[in-house]
């Protein structure tokens, strides 16, 4: 039975019917039953970056067993590649078992996480990365790093890989004192701290702290303008913003429309601090902090089949008249989808990428 409330995952005209994520890439299998050009099935690698996805090494065929065989081969190759990456010589001999609550100091709303070594909960990470070398991070900042903050974002750098990432405060299991770190992590922490100190002293050595803060706001504004340009994506319907509003007299629910239907217009706010991000369900959201509290916004777009009265009747019964903004097949996927060549060919088109602020 087809459940209309479940949105299909589409890549152009192909419905993704199987997908396996392992390591840095996802292997997908797609089907287009209406295709009459000998390319009914496709297999590709996928990398998703917030709002959009990049499909590469796409192969298409009318031979389903052939595509399934390729799908299996690519999963095996990606698993082998990930296994090698996670078991390099430098990691051999390291106790890489997941860190549990007993192995760290629990945190409360009173704790300031700036500059602390934080442990990410294993269940937050993908299965192949649920290990100590991927749990330990140095928290650099973010609203969620401050005690009693209304925000939740924590910006961290991985002690093992040196890569920066964003987590929610609720994703943090606890903290570890630097002296309690294993030797391999102490080396990583020292290298990161030296790099951070170098950035502060060499990039703008003559600026005072206030001037650095002013420059930070200026640069962040420039980045935001760049993202608005990147997200100049026109949809066929207005965008609906559903808000959980923190007002002086309590929390209230509300909504408004962005009549333009352009994704870039989501990145405007009249509050003090705003953080846009895509949650684990693929929905575009915003946490907007102001003097009375915090507003939480969820962005949706009307289906083409939605009735004209949808804005005034968008109750739980009519909620499925709206689509997740990030799942919009017409503009967010189809216009960017790879144009598949003949059987056995490849297409490595790039998509517009969006990085949550």
Report pLDDT digits (tens) over 295-311: 999 998 887 766 555 54
With 0-12 / 13-18 / 19 or more C-beta atoms within 10 angstroms meaning exposed / middle / buried, residue 293 is: middle
Q: What is the pTM of this model?
A: 0.57
The per-residue pLDDT for 21 is 93
- 70 — pLDDT class (breaks 50, 70, 90): very high
Using alpha carbons, select from 142, 94, 145, 98 the residue that is nearest to residue 118: 145
User: Which residues have C-beta within 8 Å of that of residue 66, sequence separation ≥ 6?
Assistant: none
| Terminal-to-terminal C-alpha distance of the chain | 40
Three-class SS of residue 176?
strand
Cα–Cα dist 224/4, whole Å: 36
3-state helix vs strand vs coil in the chain, percent to 5: 30, 30, 40
DSSP state of 90: G
- Does the pLDDT value for residue 351 go beyond 70? no
pLDDT classification of 323: cutoffs 50, 70, 90: low
Q: Report pLDDT for 54.
A: 84
Least confident of 59-68, 151-160, 192-201: 192-201
Average pLDDT over residues 239-253: 89
CA-to-CA distance for 237 and 254, rounded, in angstroms?
Answer: 19
- pLDDT band, residue 336 (cuts 50/70/90): very low
Q: What share of the chain has pLDDT > 90, as a percent?
A: 40
Helix (H, G, I), strand (E, B) or coil at 122: helix
Q: Which residue has the higher pLDDT, 129 or 207?
A: 129
**Which of 83-87, 290-294, 296-300 has maximum average pLDDT?**
296-300
């Amino acid at each position: 039975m087809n459940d209309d409330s479940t949105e299909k995952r589409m890549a152009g005209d192909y419905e993704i019917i199987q997908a396996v994520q392992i390591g840095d890439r996802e292997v997908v299998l797609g089907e287009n039953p209406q295709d009459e050009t000998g390319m009914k099935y496709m297999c590709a690698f996928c990398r998703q970056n917030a709002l959009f996805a990049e499909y590469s090494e796409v192969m298409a065929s009318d031979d389903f067993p052939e595509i399934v065989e390729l799908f299996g081969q690519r999963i095996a190759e990606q698993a082998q590649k990930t296994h090698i990456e996670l078991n390099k010589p430098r990691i051999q001999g390291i106790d890489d078992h997941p860190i549990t609550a007993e192995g760290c100091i629990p945190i409360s709303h009173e704790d300031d996480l700036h500059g602390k070594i934080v442990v990410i909960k294993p269940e937050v990470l993908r299965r192949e990365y649920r290990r100590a070398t991927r749990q330990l991070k140095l928290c650099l900042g973010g609203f969620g790093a401050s005690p009693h903050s209304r925000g939740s974002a924590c910006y961290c750098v991985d002690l093992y890989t040196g890569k920066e990432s964003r987590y929610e405060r609720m994703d943090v299991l606890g903290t570890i004192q630097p002296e309690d770190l294993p030797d391999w992590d102490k080396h990583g922490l020292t290298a990161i701290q030296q790099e951070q100190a170098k950035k502060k002293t060499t990039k703008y050595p003559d600026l005072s702290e206030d001037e650095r803060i002013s420059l930070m706001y200026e640069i962040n504004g420039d980045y935001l303008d760049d993202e608005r340009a990147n997200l100049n994506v026109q949809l066929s319907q207005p965008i609906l913003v559903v808000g959980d509003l923190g007002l002086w007299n309590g929390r209230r629910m509300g909504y408004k429309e962005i009549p333009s239907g352009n994704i870039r217009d989501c990145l405007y706010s009249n509050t003090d601090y705003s953080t846009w991000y895509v949650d684990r369900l693929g929905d575009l959201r915003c946490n907007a902090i102001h003097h009375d509290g915090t507003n939480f916004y969820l962005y949706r777009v009307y289906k083409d089949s939605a009735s004209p009265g949808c804005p005034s009747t968008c109750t739980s019964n009519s909620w499925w008249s709206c689509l997740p903004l990030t799942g919009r097949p017409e503009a967010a996927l189809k216009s960017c989808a790879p144009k598949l060549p003949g059987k056995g060919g490849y297409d490595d088109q790039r998509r517009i990428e969006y990085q949550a602020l």
